[in-house]
Amino acid sequence: MLVLGMMSGTSADGIDVALARISGAPPNLNVKLLGHTSVKFPPALRKEILRIAEQHAITAGAVSQLNFRVGELFAGAAMSACRKFRIASKKIALIGSHGQTIFHQGKCVTFLGRPTASTLQIGEPAIIAARTGISTIGDFRPADIALGGQGAPLVPYADYLLYRHPKLGRVSLNLGGIANITVLPAAAKPQQVFAFDTGPANMLIDALVAHFTRGRQRFDENARLASQGRSLPALLDDLLRDPYLKLVPPKSTGREYYGHAYLKKLFTLGRRHRAKPNDLIRAATIFTALSVVDALNRFVLRKTKIHQLIVSGGGARNPLILAQLSAALPGIEVLPSSRLGIPEDAKEAFAFALLAYETYHQRPANLPSATGARGPAILGKISYAPPR
Ligand SMILES: Nc1ncnc2c1ncn2[C@@H]1O[C@H](COP(=O)(O)OP(=O)(O)O)[C@@H](O)[C@H]1O
Ligand SMILES: [Mg+2]
């Protein structure tokens, strides 16, 4: 079966698309990534997504309109992927579309007097199905929340299928806007997989770069700016006192915490330590790497022998992050995911192709050990393609 997976993460930089050929059923699932591509969001739309993801005011009408507009963009991304891969859309059996998260509250909080958890991904699947003629599964997270889980992370199911190894302990690290890890002990059973968000990945770096370049640059390509900064160990020590790092997993975070409010905190710390712009970008970059190392030391390496750290997401292209990880994790091989056949930018989109395939076959694809759900859930909702 040919399946397209689509994903846009917390960076809201654009839509990643992966084409996969999948057959069989776990534990004998055969998956092959056939191609991947990425489509940028128009700047005005990205700005609006970031604004509402920071929980600024928006009307229900605007949310509804945005949901359909983002659906059109995802549909366009699917069609341009088909052109790029030179494949007729009618040969593709299924799309799995994660959509764009604009709100995620995985843990219950009091809302109108009652404990409530919820999540909202936009990018209307009915639009995608209608425009592409391909049945589309979206809204993967609510089914897990409905069973008391946090609705995240969902990629660990794919990590388990793709990376589990009989002899090697592995950690899969995705560096999107936020950094998250999936821990796969050697010869792991599904119940032994655990996963959580370690803290920021590119979110702080991107925000600093956009600020200091007045929006001319969106991110620190190949760590060029960070490499020109000085190291300020005292500033780094202050950053590493971040209370999020000490929270015991399962835990997840996002723009609500590492967004604008955190940026203000960075500026305050920067002034206190007399940091120049590039010094601050460097500190945020090293902090990103060391917050992952801190999570591994605190919650993983004491109990589990790890041989390899497999890195994906846009942050895997940041040489300073990778160098810091390698230096701080002696005895662990740090590998970009492309070394195992999955390009860094394709990994999460590929995962949603896999999750859609499982849903299509009515099989659960959450890992309760990762999300905290009471049990297995069949994820997502299906929007059928119009009859031909
Ligand atoms: N060459 C590069 N050098 C440094 N950082 C990069 C590079 N390419 C991508 N990135 C970072 O990766 C981010 C996008 O990563 P991505 O995995 O798409 O995150 P998300 O899942 O949150 O959308 C960009 O915003 C940027 O910070
Ligand atoms: Mg992205």
Beta carbons within 8 Å of 325's beta carbon, 6+ residues apart: 289, 292, 293, 309, 311, 334
> Percent of the chain at pLDDT above 90?
96
pLDDT at 256: 85
Q: For residues 41-55, give the mean pLDDT.
A: 93
Rounded distance between C-alpha atoms, residue 53 and residue 10, angstroms: 9
State yes or no: pLDDT of 252 exceeds 90. Answer: no
Give 72-83 pLDDT, tens digit per residue: 999 999 999 999
Rounded distance between C-alpha atoms, residue 220 and residue 58, angstroms: 30
pLDDT at 317: 97
Three-state secondary structure call for residue 21 = strand
The ligand placed nearest to the CA atom of residue 10 is 1
**Alpha-carbon dihedral angle through residues 6, 144, 115, 67, given to the nearest 10 degrees:** 20
Lowest mean pLDDT among 27-31, 74-78, 330-334, 357-361: 27-31
Instruction: Tell me, rounded to whole angstroms, the distance of Cα 10 from its chain centroid.
Output: 7
Ligand 1 binding pocket includes 180 (Cβ within 6 Å): no
DSSP conformation class of 178: E
How many angstroms is it from 219 CA to the middle of ligand 1? 7
The ligand placed nearest to the CA atom of residue 207 is 1
Ligand 1 binding pocket includes 317 (Cβ within 6 Å): yes
Give 339-353 pLDDT, tens digit per residue: 999 999 999 999 999
- Give the confidence band of 177 by pLDDT, cuts at 50, 70, 90: very high
Scan for tokens 């794919």, then name that residue: 158
- Residues flanking ion ligand 2, Cβ below 5 Å: 9, 11, 13
State the chain's mean pLDDT as an integer: 96
State yes or no: pLDDT of 250 exceeds 90. Answer: no
Give 25-47 pLDDT, tens digit per residue: 998 899 999 999 999 999 999 99
pTM for this one? Answer: 0.96
Query: 136-138 and 94-111 as β-strands: parallel, antiparallel, unpaired?
Result: parallel
How many angstroms is it from 202 CA to the middle of ligand 1? 6
Ligand 1 binding pocket includes 254 (Cβ within 6 Å): no
Give 110-120 pLDDT, tens digit per residue: 999 999 999 99
State yes or no: pLDDT of 154 exceeds 90. Answer: yes
Helix/strand/coil (H, E, C) string of 223-241? Answer: HHHHHHCCCCHHHHHHHCC
State yes or no: pLDDT of 141 exceeds 90. Answer: yes
- For ligand 1, atom 19, which residue shows the shortest CA distance? 176
- For ligand 1, atom 11, which residue shows the shortest CA distance? 314
Rounded distance between C-alpha atoms, residue 304 and residue 295, angstroms: 13
Ligand 1 binding pocket includes 13 (Cβ within 6 Å): yes
How many angstroms is it from 148 CA to the middle of ligand 1? 31
Rounded distance between C-alpha atoms, residue 162 and residue 349, angstroms: 14
